[in-house]
A and B are shown apart, each in its own frame.
Chain A
């Protein structure tokens, strides 16, 4: 069935619906990864957003049960150039359409996604609506105008109860504050011999310290870091007592907890080919990213550890002498070797609290 996508700036795209056919409004962002739509869709950081994939063919290998990166489908809607409903891969268990339907996520295909991307690049991420053809542009824009964004998306994706991911012969206990944690990260701690305790984002300082963690991880997550006042306070309390590592939103929260400011990028960093430079070693690596907010600048007590080679934004910080650091990107495991920031955290835990 033909449906349409209307942007806040009045632009309209006609496409074909798939997944859920409800009407939906959200902030429209784009991701430039060629592969990995499943991992991207199950990244809670996209919660409440509408995602446009710049690569044209989406759905080729279906959805694979064991490959989800969380239990949620992050985006409210998915915009693609061509959805492929006939996956070909030995492991696929469901089609993308089936998964979107199950999760009530709206899909629209046959959209000139390149044009859309260029608009977002120039004018920045903006609100958009996917609706039926009979909704006029004026009506659509009025709906966008009346739309109130989810105030605290982290509260929606964070776990409600504490849960555990343990490994054989554990050496450390890592408490992860779940602002929208990815399984990938949890698996990595397990791989490094850490038991992981995943706690809701609003867990108290006392409760966390009562778990006697060797280190505390603040996960990635959706939305503006300004919304997470509680987690900022939590970081301020723990900092200096236990090693802290933040990813994405977690990194931004560490920045805010230490008096730095953050700002929203025009269209964010979403993709898997961003080069960042380690400012200490000067090595450059390619990273996957998903963040709208960047840290404005470092300070005397906060060092910049990673820098984006393309736009020179800050991609990692470390609070001096506090064993507290964060990276904006998603560090990965390469052929069984964990990223250096995981290893650094292990070292900090090894040395114990301050």
Chain B
């Protein structure tokens, strides 16, 4: 059945800004979908508000709308563009929900736009709990029953109906916290009471507890001919109860016999058939480890994070095939290289996915893993054995861990360790490893964790080999350890060497890996797929061509501060390398991204970004050059060591990186170029730190050098606070200097530019809305600047040119400036690499920055490319980038904006006037912009002067104002009618209650800067958390409030009496 001829234009909805649970995997899926549709000859119209994506590049879709993903905007675009069909299953839950709304509101019918792939009815059946339950009953598939209760007695009755143990969950809370497991009536009463209280609608869901069940997932695919195949099975190492996005996941499933496998596979296929899905679908099961009892937990009738993982794990491009199915092709008609898409992929390796959590930045957030996903990103690794796969994944994480070993567990007693593993946390596996080191019986660990003995045995095996290596650090055991996946860095410690020495010693012994191909067919069919992983075996399948090649190092797992923006630059570098006539080779380990789609580059090595793994690729490929400056800090951190190993780094070299990142060298550069810089010093011990701070005067900005995303960056106001910071927040020592700088209050400005050693090209200058003190990644950013004088802009351009040349940048760099109230410009920092703002600025200015920069690195000067030392003329429109946060997912985390970056994603808004652009940007970032309601104000004394006129503006717009006593007093004096709310510290739940009940629209909350315990200030913290968990908008920066008011004043009609 050929492709459909009756449709020509297809609308694709993206997934918008990145939040926890909906990340880069949808850029990967969306990009594949758009390319697949274009390949079939359709015109693709794309809507996505996330600027940091490849899919929103104008060469991926025919028309790109980067408008807010709301019903209003999407409807408008549909009416304007009149697409014949819409493909809703590629933009995550956001895209799917929007498509459903469009259908429900009749917009699709009105515009004669049909839903492709899976029908409206099917989506509804899969998404609606009741409908889905009926569907499962119809085809005899067991799904988990969930009853709703409104009183404690109802809860007990429901629990008895279902049978203990049950799990209780408060309904409509975002965090999903406050519930728990009940084993008897007594538990049900006590937990139920609390759960009812936490639910804004006093409703509790009662479900059968399936604690300890195995969690198994199937990715299945179906076409209109009813051919349905299993793409991949996946098994979570953590049993049911931990969100699959947070779990360590292994593919294929390891502990199922044929009977169990068939049971679940056939169930998944029956479900996709009954739902009549045309495309991919993900089905999650809970399977009792002691019987054949299973439950269908969840069905996602769309591409998902799991489908991205399954695609990368098998080499089968699910999104691409789904898109082709959606336009009428059948599986047997779709060819994937030499294999037909109807061939169910079969693998001959083990894939492990491990989530990357933000707990290294958010030390105060609760590390417990549960049904609410907390990970910001993930790594995948491939090995021929479970051990190899797992250890490669661990060292890919970049959390300072290179083995199943965490120092912190050394000090735990065995009892403490056993107790700690009962709760799933991000570091549980290291505690388990430590227990094995202490010869604790596996059954005890199995009992405490319910992790299948298969996986525990593999961990045990790793530890037993570790012990052998420690006892006999000889060549034989080195070989064995490497085969099992041990890292050089860990082995180096055992052998008393540095990582580089170990690498050289080992390769000297001829212990080197080979590369195997991921070909979807376990080697059965011939055909070269340039998608490779390393393992210590005999045959190497990676074919090195005669063509000169360039290796690009990717950016690894997505974390706060290093997101999909860096993948954007990586992918552009690949294209630029290919345009320049070289072979583009990628090394990366993130399964969610476009750069790890093997069809993007000429060759993909799915490997950890550690020295040894990168060097093995380089040793084999002997590339002409290696690009490190596009993969964020990950690759930058490898540069020094790669240089030592004589790797030809192209672009900004190690010495230039050192000049930008080493405090002393940087200061020298700044002095030589005569550019003002906030006074400060790098210190390596506490007393010097205090001395320096007093010399330059408080407040000072402190941060460890070599950081990303402002990790552990803080403004401190006195000795005591500084002392605490230097002892607890960072472990200061000789190798880890801390920077102490004068804190200047002013406007922050950011520049991304390209330098080729002769010229410096500046595509644009971005002005940040929030004043210094809020991390640039958490600020709203505006291009072109909206309130900078020409003189200031000229100064910034001049400084940028001078710095680029003096540091010796070859390629992209990013500079942060401060402009104080006297229009004096000083430089805060220079990042000698691609930055977070590159995609935003590229899209806003229309300059393909990563492409130009890559060509510069390859030796094509800016002049040759038609650019010179210049600032591009500013665009007439305003482009605004707004941050998106995932606070509701991270329990315990304070939402206060600070120099430490907290946002997970970004959204763009653009329009002819500043306020309109700001408005759209805020809407796109999921902020609720409402022009009525109640504003709750509690601000620090120091902020009152600035806050009062702002609150007055709310008041004038017709908002009801509420405040705590202190703030209320000032507000009343200022002529604002204010209702006083009792403080929490006065034993009143009044404030929290009204937040939970949804009575409050906005909260304005600032804290006293001099209060060193600001984040611990209990009232403020509780208010902020409760707000986040109940989806109430909270502002901790008055600059943002000002922007919001500008917008509200423009969109609100005022009310007044006739005689005013």
Contact = CB atoms under 8 A, between A and B. Distances in A.
B193 interface: no
A335 interface: yes
B599 to A, nearest CB: 21
B227 interface: yes
B1054 interface: no
Given A275-B342, A284-B332, A335-B267, A36 B261 contact: yes
Contacts of B453: 86, 88
A118 B254 contact: no
B344 interface: yes
B526 interface: yes
B389 to A, nearest CB: 10
A273 B290 CA distance: 28
A34 B525 contact: no
A122 B523 CA distance: 10
A119 B226 CA distance: 36
Interface stretch (A109-117, A175-183, A201-209, A339-347): A109-117
B346 A284 contact: no
B269 A334 contact: yes
Contact of A88 (B226, B339, B347, B452): B452
A117 B523 contact: yes
Interface in A95-152: 112-115, 117-118, 121-122
A208 to B, nearest CB: 32
A212 interface: no
B521 to A, nearest CB: 7
A84 B454 CA distance: 9
A272 B346 CA distance: 9
B384 interface: yes
Nearest to A66: B259
A280 interface: no
A274 interface: yes
Given A86-B457, A122-B526, A34 B252 contact: yes
A328 to B, nearest CB: 16
A88 B255 contact: yes
Nearest to A61: B257
A57 B340 contact: no
Contacts of A117: 348, 522-524
Contacts of A54: 346, 348, 522-524
A38 interface: yes
A39 interface: yes
B345 interface: yes
Contacts of B524: 30, 32, 54, 117, 121, 267, 271
Contacts of A275: 227, 229, 331-332, 340, 342-344
Contact of A91 (B257, B452, B521): B257
Contacts of A313: none
Contacts of B539: 112, 114-115, 118
A273 B225 contact: no
B447 to A, nearest CB: 14
B350 A57 contact: yes
B386 interface: yes
Interface in B257-313: 257-259, 261-262, 266-267, 269-270, 289-291
Interface in A52-91: 54-57, 60-61, 64, 67, 81-82, 84, 86, 88-91
B252 A67 contact: no
Contacts of A36: 257-258, 261
Given A34-B347, A273-B346, A60 B454 contact: yes
A114 B454 contact: no
A61 B289 contact: no
Given A54-B523, A88-B457, A310 B343 contact: yes
A334 B227 contact: no
A284 B457 contact: no
A285 B256 contact: no
B384 A56 contact: yes
A161 interface: no
Contacts of B339: 310
B728 interface: no
Interface string B539-560: 1010000000000000000000
Given A32-B524, A91-B257, A56 B385 contact: yes
A57 B254 contact: yes
A89 B257 contact: yes
Nearest to B232: A34
B330 interface: yes
A39 B258 contact: yes
Contacts of A82: 384-385
A89 B289 CA distance: 7
A291 to B, nearest CB: 14
Given A54-B348, A82-B385, A284 B331 contact: yes
A309 B343 CA distance: 8
A273 B348 contact: no
Contacts of B233: 34
B985 interface: no
Nearest to A35: B261
Contact of A271 (B230, B259, B262, B346): B346
A93 to B, nearest CB: 11
Interface string B38-68: 0000000000000000000000000000000
B538 interface: yes
B516 interface: yes
A65 to B, nearest CB: 12
A112 B535 CA distance: 10
A92 B257 CA distance: 9
A286 B229 CA distance: 7
A264 to B, nearest CB: 17
Interface string B225-239: 111011001000000
B264 to A, nearest CB: 11
Contacts of A284: 225, 227, 330-332, 342
B486 interface: no
A332 B254 CA distance: 22
Contacts of B270: 334-335
A160 interface: no
Interface in A219-273: 267, 271-273
Interface in A16-46: 30, 32-36, 38-39
Interface in B173-232: 225-227, 229-230
Given A35-B256, A88-B454, A114 B537 contact: yes
B525 A121 contact: yes
Interface in B505-533: 516, 521-526
Contact of B523 (A39, A121, A272, A334): A121
A169 B291 CA distance: 30
Given A38-B258, A285-B227, A56 B349 contact: yes
Contacts of A13: 538
Contacts of B256: 35, 61
A282 interface: yes
Contacts of B267: 335
Nearest to A275: B342
A282 B342 CA distance: 13
Given A88-B453, A283-B227, A335-B266, A32 B521 contact: yes
Closest 10 A/B residue pairs (Cβ)? A273-B344, A275-B342, A115-B539, A36-B258, A54-B522, A88-B454, A284-B227, A117-B523, A88-B453, A112-B537
30 contacts: A32-B522, A33-B346, A34-B346, A35-B253, A35-B261, A56-B348, A56-B349, A56-B350, A56-B385, A61-B255, A64-B257, A84-B454, A86-B453, A89-B255, A90-B291, A92-B257, A114-B523, A115-B537, A117-B348, A117-B524, A121-B523, A121-B525, A274-B343, A275-B344, A283-B227, A284-B331, A309-B332, A310-B339, A310-B343, A310-B525
Given A57-B254, A121-B525, A335-B139, 8 more contacts: A55-B346, A82-B384, A114-B516, A114-B523, A267-B524, A275-B227, A310-B525, A335-B270
Interface of A: 13, 30, 32-36, 38-39, 54-57, 60-61, 64, 67, 81-82, 84, 86, 88-92, 112-115, 117-118, 121-122, 267, 271-275, 277, 282-286, 309-310, 332, 334-335
